[in-house]
């Protein structure tokens, strides 16, 4: 910075030209070399912003006045936009969202991973980027003395924003929210006050599958559980004929959880049936499954293509006896591995969550898949046991041709990367929902002889800063590093 451009001070109003987007969705502006992250701004905006906090290397600010709107700025659909905070890019044209997501994938790989010699393939976006979420975790609180089912306002944990419509949710889920809120009001059941630790109804978990063809609902309560469950079931069944199950989960703790809790089935079954590609999957109440069913089809097809299991006409290119052996790490309910199974010689799935492994095994049965084998346990530990011989696999599964890895947002531990590198599969397909953790993981895999060939961003989360990636790595040289 020069003396003509002093550092901005807290509460100061500054005029800024916004030139980029940061991870998390804030606009990026600069005063000489000093970076200002601007909430509520999109690239191309000229804004007057108030400085909220200032650090040594950057400041954070909030738009107070839009002096000149960006040509990429558009009108947000949601009346709660800016207050909810769930889809912070709703005022940025969708084509621009795709452009910036792709550029952030490249930036992560280059700057965080030191990776340069790779191909960034065109991002896969949605033709209609609305009404795609098949799951909602609503909070329940009190507003003006009445129970309200909605979302937390941006930056708040102790209040609930009343919800009239969410343009990201599948419509059947939104209808469930309305039914439950009306029922809570009529029954005079209080919502939860997290500050006081008082109330009864805490969360509503609603899931849908097959484009709203099936609905599963869980009301999370405090105390000893729901005594009016039969009445709630009758109300939901009358209003939503696609309902397949209703549960009551209990949370007596302080943590704000809507899933992974003990529950009682009030009616029906505690799982959905979802279709991906030509496979049917059982998805239990608390199981992880991609929240965008439409793009999950494209994601699985892309994984098959990157794994070399489809030809140029997108037809099956291998028969089962001649196909590759696939190891599907962090396999969940088997949504990726089982879609590959009929093109593979065999599939091994490894997953730490017991209920997910049970679902994966049942999904193999549902799909009449006989060449899939699932193991429960920590991925790094199981891989170590396989390599040292203490965990014996069937002979046809012992050497993988392709490893597919789809870890949580936090990415892989260094030990997990080391174990994968030691296996030495010819090809790795890394499915990531966070390019900032993908980058260091790929950089570590290069130390085991792998080369990043190409990466394809996939927009599973329109109008949010999040982006999925499918990366292809090939083994260029055998691993030569010591074990971790």
Q: CB count, 10 Å around CB of 69?
A: 14
Q: CB count, 10 Å around CB of 139?
A: 25
**Residue/partner pairs of 248-254 with CB below 8 Å, 24 or more apart:** 248/218, 248/219, 248/220, 248/221, 249/205, 249/218, 249/219, 249/220, 249/221, 250/220, 250/221, 250/222, 250/223, 250/224, 250/225, 251/202, 251/203, 251/220, 251/221, 251/222, 252/222, 252/223, 254/194, 254/197
Distance CA 306, CA 408 (A): 20
Distance CA 121, CA 69 (A): 30
**Set 166, 300, 331, 433: catalytic member:** 433
Quick one: tokens of 57? 């290397």
Q: Of 43, 39, 16, which is closest to residue 85 (Cα–Cα)?
A: 39
Query: How far, in whole angstroms, is CA 223 from its chain's centroid?
Result: 31
Note if 78 is an active site residue: no
Say if CB 231 and CB 160 are below 8 A apart: no
Say if CB 438 and CB 310 are below 8 A apart: no
Distance CA 61, CA 50 (A): 5
**Residue/partner pairs of 297-301 with CB below 8 Å, 24 or more apart:** 298/124, 298/458, 299/336, 299/431, 299/458, 299/460, 299/468, 299/470, 300/276, 300/335, 300/336, 300/339, 300/340, 301/277
283 exposure class (CB count in 10 Å sphere: 0-12, 13-18, 19+): buried
* DSSP string for 306-333: HTT-B-TTSSB---TTTSPEEEEET-TT
Query: For 124-196, where are the alpha helices, taking DSSP H only?
Result: 171-187
Q: Which residues are tagged catalytic? A: 433
């Amino acid at each position: 910075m020069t003396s003509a451009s002093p550092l901005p001070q807290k509460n100061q109003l500054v005029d800024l030209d916004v030139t980029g987007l940061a991870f998390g969705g804030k606009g990026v502006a600069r005063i000489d070399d000093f970076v200002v992250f601007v909430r509520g701004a999109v690239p191309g905006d000229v804004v007057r912003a108030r400085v909220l906090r200032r650090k040594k290397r950057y400041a954070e600010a909030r738009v107070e006045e839009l002096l000149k709107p960006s040509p990429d700025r558009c009108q947000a659909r949601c009346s709660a936009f800016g207050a909810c905070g769930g889809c912070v890019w709703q005022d940025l044209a969708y084509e621009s969202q795709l452009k910036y997501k792709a550029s952030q994938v490249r930036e992560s790989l280059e700057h965080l991973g030191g990776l340069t010699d790779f191909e960034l393939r065109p991002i896969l976006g949605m033709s209609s980027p609305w009404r795609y979420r098949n799951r909602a975790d609503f909070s329940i609180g009190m507003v003006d003395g009445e129970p309200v089912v909605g979302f937390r306002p941006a930056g708040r944990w102790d209040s609930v924003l009343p919800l009239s419509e969410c343009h990201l949710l599948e419509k059947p889920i939104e209808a469930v929210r309305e039914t439950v809120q009306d029922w809570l009001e009529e029954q005079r059941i209080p919502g939860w006050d997290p500050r006081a630790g008082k109330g009864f109804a805490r969360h509503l978990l609603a899931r849908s599958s097959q484009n709203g063809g099936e609905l599963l609902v869980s009301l999370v309560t405090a105390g000893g559980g729901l005594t009016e469950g039969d009445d709630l079931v009758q109300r939901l069944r009358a209003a939503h004929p696609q309902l397949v199950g209703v549960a009551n989960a209990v949370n007596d703790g302080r943590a704000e959880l809507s899933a992974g809790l003990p529950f009682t089935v009030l009616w029906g079954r505690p799982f959905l049936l979802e279709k991906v590609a030509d496979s049917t999957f059982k998805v239990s109440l608390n199981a992880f499954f991609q929240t965008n069913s439409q793009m999950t089809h494209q994601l699985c097809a892309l994984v098959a293509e990157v794994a070399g299991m489809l030809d140029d006409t997108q037809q099956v290119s291998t028969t089962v006896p001649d196909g590759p052996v696939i190891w599907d790490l962090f396999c969940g309910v088997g949504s990726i591995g089982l879609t590959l199974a009929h093109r593979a010689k065999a599939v091994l799935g490894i997953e730490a969550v017991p209920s997910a492994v049970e679902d994966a095994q049942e999904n193999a049965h549902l799909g009449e898949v006989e060449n899939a084998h699932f193991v429960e346990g920590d991925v790094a530990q199981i891989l170590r046991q396989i390599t040292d011989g203490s965990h014996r696999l069937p002979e046809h599964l012992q050497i993988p041709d392709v490893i597919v890895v789809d870890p949580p947002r936090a990415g892989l531990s260094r030990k997990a990367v080391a174990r994968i590198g030691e296996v030495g599969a010819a090809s790795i397909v890394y499915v990531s929902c966070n390019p900032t953790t993908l980058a260091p993981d790929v950089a570590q895999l290069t130390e085991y002889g792998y080369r990043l060939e190409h990466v394809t961003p996939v927009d599973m989360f329109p109008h949010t800063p999040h982006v999925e990636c499918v990366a292809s790595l090939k083994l260029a040289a055998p691993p030569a590093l010591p074990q971790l």
